[in-house]
Each structure stands twice: as structure tokens, then as C-alpha cells.
Chain A
């Protein structure tokens, strides 16, 4: 975990979390019991889906990279739960939580991991490249920082079209050091674009701690561009919502960008292939799990609120496990694409031959 600077703690209170805690913030106080259970269930479904996908990976059903989101669930769920009709999300390759957060079904997600034609990207993208534009979810991007100008462009498009929405553009604590991120910050601030740059600070970029990769405080870099910024703790879904609500409102109503750093933690290696034995102590992971696990924390909160009881906790968990298992069955039973699918979805014109206007060859073998 990164060290805390007092400057950031100051800004946290300035970000508008009421004294009596994020639970009392109107954005949370106004939630019905069912809505709260819905948030909890979503986090559990993400975790069980990913645990199931890890087993499938170990059974060699999944190839390539698998970057698990386990430990970070409250960030995607908190942020995505605030989405209105014209709000959008884009993120990097650690994209399963956001996909489930915006409401994607588990079957096409698991099928995508299995490389099946029933996958959300027809088996073409894999784990790093989940998309669902119909749910305002723009991926799933493999190049660190590459999605950040795209999110800025979605915000530009919203403003251009006169829509009152915002684009939450997620990136990691390592991505903040890509040049494209800084160019995007400037454009967003210069042109008042409704984009929230959300830094999911899980403390590490692969095996490099924040202290070894970034000079200064991450979100504070917004000051250089005259942008608003804030920091919050990402293990508490209420706090995530309370912090993000204010910035989202500013973006929607006044078209103002912001940078929000959400402190979180990943339990697994960078990807499933990372042996995770060079850069942090196992005790650090255990400590976070014990004290800040986002599902445990919210479960305790909702038990205290008497929104949940233990029977319901158990039921939600059993259902989430069953749903994840079913998604694996679905993926297993689905067909692979074939070599004939390789050259589909490359060019619009090739896929719509009756409407093709250009001549000449599009493909070369």
C-alpha cells in the first residue's frame, strides 16, 4: 500500500464526505434496502466469477493473460452504480469488475475468456478486451494508458451532442506515467470535458510499487491543469459512491473534468502468471484482506444496518457460485470461432458487402 501524505488526507475531507461518514451521504442514505443488497450482490458475483475463471485458467480452458480484480470490487461497483443513462465507462485490461458492474451477463464474459464465439467479443478480444457499448461500456484496453484519450473523446462526444452525461475513465496507478494520459488531462481541462479520470490505485503496477514509479501524489497532478481532484478509500463502497457522486454531478451539469484517486488493493498477482514473490510480503495481503476486504466490510455494514442477515448472505453467495459455474458450463458448451471468422469484423465494408462503395482488395491472403 502506498504511504499516506497529510496533504491528501486534507483534500479528502475537502472532497465533501460528511463528518458522520459516507453511509449518511445522501447518495447512500437514499438507497433502498433492495438497492443496497443489489450492490452487495454485485460485488459477490464479481468475486465468484473471477474465482471460477481462475480455476478455468488453471485447467487450461483460458489462454493469454488473466488479470483478476479480486480485492478491488467496491471501486467498479461503487462507480458504476452511479451511472445514469448518458454516463459511460472505459477502463484498462483489468476489466471484469467493470463489465459486471455495468450489468453485463456472466455467460458472454466467461465465454469470451474461453475464446468462444458466444463471448462478448466473439472470442476475438479475450480477458483484456470486454466490450458492451449498448451498456455504455467501451472496454477493456490492453495498452497501458491507451484508453485514457478514448474516454476523453467519449466525454467530448457527449458535450458535442449536448448530452448531460460523464465518462468515467479508469486507469491504474502505473498508467498515470504514460504521456497520453497527460495530453488527455490537458485537453479535458482546456475544453471543459465531462470526464472523470479515475485512478484505481492498488499500490502496484506489476511488481513496481507506487513509490518506485511515480513522483509526487497521483491525483494532485490535476492541479497542474487546473482540474479538480479528490482521493478516497476504495474498500468502502459507500465512500466510493459519496466521493464520485460530487464529481459526476459537476461533470454532468457543468461539464467539468476531475481526477479521482481511489485507494484499493489487489489480492492476486498482476496477472495469473505473476508469481507475486518479489515486491510485497504475503502479510501485507493478509492484513488488507483481514481489515479492508470490500465484501466483508460492506457485509458487516449491511448486517449492522439490518439490511442483510446471515441467511441472505449465504443465499447470495450460493447463488453467485452457481451462476459462475453455469457460466463456465455455458462457455464450455459453446463453439470456438473458426478460421473463416478471422477476417470478419475487421472492416465495416467487408461485413456489409452490399453497401460497399470502395473498390480494390481489402485483404492480402
Chain B
């Protein structure tokens, strides 16, 4: 099977869907001539031309709103946000218009748009560029939220997102763009709302997603090798729809849970998860649900301190050992 980078897997999904459906169009800042700020869209302009790959001015509210309007007419825009952090200037378009138009029209209007781009800390770009808005987005019924961690998932999920008739927010990670993994050449899909057990184990369930999941997997391996402890890792892959069945099945097996997320704690994804786990599997739990988040302050620039602020392998290992104790 071919081994691709995460960014190449996304590019492949875009290329396949652009080829499959003439209504798919890619818009965003620097996606064409510049090849994408993170080179995700490299080569697409040459292959598909300027009608399908559109460079926009720095007007997120304008071009995202425009994309939403076009999607109402059946165009299927895939919008790149250079950073998800810039969604805030288009907040109204995404969370009032895209989230609500189907509902407010009594189901007459669909909004098949995808907004994708990186949402993460870890590259010392400071408080304004390090937001992780999956919780904010998922707080809005009508919006779907996807958070792929591996090249395989990124491709399969993006293809599903583009074919989805609802607005899908697709959150990538600049720290993962260079990660490599096996990606089949055939036209496979990963459905939205299906979690994946990335590692089986019996003593503790780590529920995670995105780069925090990648780090959690490494910690689970360390725990096996150096501590002889068996940890299961559940990768949510989608935040909304949320696959609680897979989470609960794992909890019933291990009876201990640690949630690891690159979110600030207050009202983060983990808060919702913990509520549902205790509500739906209270009798299965042998210990309180553990949770490891980004330390609760705006994202710091200072490079060595940012490492400490985020979930890192040391912090995850410590939290996992506590959860296992």
C-alpha cells in the first residue's frame, strides 16, 4: 500500500473529489498559485485550473459566506482556512448561517460546504493562532465536526465530508502534516461519526483525537513496554456526530477512562464526553474519569513553555499512571 504524508492524503482526497464531482470547488487564501500555506493544495491549480482552485483575498467572512450561499444552490465548496484560528472573523457566517439555514427554512435548504484547515498549538505561533475550536463548533446543532489524526483517516473522512449534505468543519493539524501512513489507492470512505480503536487494551481507556491521540498511542506503547500495563486507545475521529457506542464498549471492557485533548478545559469536548460516560456507564467505572487538557491560559509563545502547556508525552504518561493507580 502506498505510504503518504497526512497533507498528501488530504490532497489526494481533494483531487479525487474534484475529479468525481464537477460541483466541487476549492477556495481559500494562497491555495492556488502559492500551493497552500502548508502545501496541502500543491499542484491542484495546475491540474484543475483556476475555476476549480480559487485564490481569495483575505476576506474570510466574505468568501466563507459566499461559499455557504453557493452551497445552498448545490455548489460543493471546500474552503481552506489558513488557520482555523481565523474562523473568528467569519463566525457569523459559519455559526449563524451555515448552522441554521436548514433549520430555519424548515428543511428546504441544504448547506453542503466543507471548511478545512489546521487547528492546533505547538508551533509557537501564539495566542491568536493556536485556537482549537472543535468544542465551539460542535456546540452548534446543524454543524458537523471532524478531527482526523492519521493520513488514512484524513483522506477517508475528507471524502465523506465533501459528499455530506451538511456543513462539515474539518480540523487538521500543522504538526501532523508531515506524518506518514498507509493510504489505499482505491476510493474508500471513512464514515463520519465512527470512532476507531487504535490500540486494544484491558486496564484503561484513553479517549482522544487528533495529535493528542497520536501522543496517547505512544504513551500506551510505553506503558506496555516499560510498565507492563495494557491501555486501549479510542480515536474519536468525529466530534459531532459522536460515536458513543465505541467509547462505552471500551469503558465496559477497561472500567477506567482518561480523556486526553488539546482543548482548554472549560466546556471542552472532554467535558461533554465525561458527562455522557458517567451518565451512561456509571456502574462500569472503577475510578473517577481522568482528563488531561491544555493548561488553561491563552497559548503562550515561549517555545519551551508551550511544550509544557500542551498535552505532551510526559504529562499524558503521568495522568495515565494516575488513572491506573
Contacts and interface: CB of A to CB of B under 8 A. Distances in A.
A178 B59 contact: yes
B295 A143 contact: no
Overall SS of chain A's interface: loop
Nearest to B294: A365
Given A207-B34, A208-B57, A212-B55, A142 B304 contact: no
B164 interface: no
Interface string A125-156: 11011000000000001111110000000000
A304 interface: no
Interface string B282-304: 00000000000101111011111
A263 B27 CA distance: 29
B123 A63 contact: yes
Interface string A173-200: 0110111100000000000000000000
A214 B57 contact: yes
Contacts of B123: 63-64
Nearest to A144: B58
Interface string A102-118: 00000000000001100
B100 interface: no
A343 B266 CA distance: 14
A225 interface: no
B178 interface: no
Contact of B309 (A63, A125, A342): A342
Nearest to A215: B57
B302 A337 contact: yes
Contact of B303 (A63, A146, A177, A214): A63
B35 A278 contact: yes
A267 interface: no
A128 B124 CA distance: 11
A115 B124 contact: yes
Find the residue from B127, B264, B295, B305 having the highest chain A CB count within 10 A.
B305
Nearest to B301: A126
A318 interface: no
A210 to B, nearest CB: 10
Contacts of B129: 142
A147 to B, nearest CB: 11
A122 to B, nearest CB: 8
A207 B58 CA distance: 12
B80 interface: no
Contacts of A342: 295, 297, 300, 305, 308-309
Given A64-B125, A65-B125, A342-B297, A208 B86 contact: no
| Interface bracket on B | 35 or more
A198 B61 CA distance: 23
Main secondary structure of the interface of B (DSSP, over half): loop
A205 B128 contact: no
Contacts of B88: 143
Contact of A64 (B85, B301, B305): B301
A323 B296 CA distance: 38
Nearest to A205: B58
Contacts of B33: 207-208, 212, 278-279
B248 interface: no
Contacts of B295: 339, 342-343, 365
A356 B127 CA distance: 25
Nearest to B271: A364
B300 A124 contact: yes
Interface in B31-50: 33-35, 37
B193 interface: no
B61 to A, nearest CB: 5
Contacts of A336: 302, 304-305
A125 B126 contact: yes
Nearest to B267: A364
Contacts of B172: none
B265 interface: yes
A328 to B, nearest CB: 16
A254 interface: no
A175 to B, nearest CB: 7
A199 to B, nearest CB: 13
Interface in A216-240: none
B57 A174 contact: yes
Contacts of B262: none
B8 interface: no
Contacts of A145: 58, 89
Given A143-B86, A364-B296, A116 B58 contact: no
A348 interface: no
Ranked 5 nearest A-B pairs via Cβ: A63-B124, A126-B301, A115-B302, A207-B34, A64-B124
Interface of A: 63-65, 115-116, 121, 123-126, 128-129, 141-146, 174-175, 177-180, 205-208, 212-214, 278-279, 336-339, 341-343, 346, 363-365
30 contacts: A63-B123, A63-B303, A63-B306, A64-B125, A64-B126, A115-B305, A123-B305, A125-B127, A126-B124, A129-B126, A129-B301, A141-B128, A142-B128, A177-B57, A179-B62, A208-B30, A279-B33, A279-B34, A336-B304, A337-B302, A339-B305, A339-B308, A339-B309, A341-B305, A342-B300, A343-B296, A346-B297, A346-B298, A363-B297, A364-B266
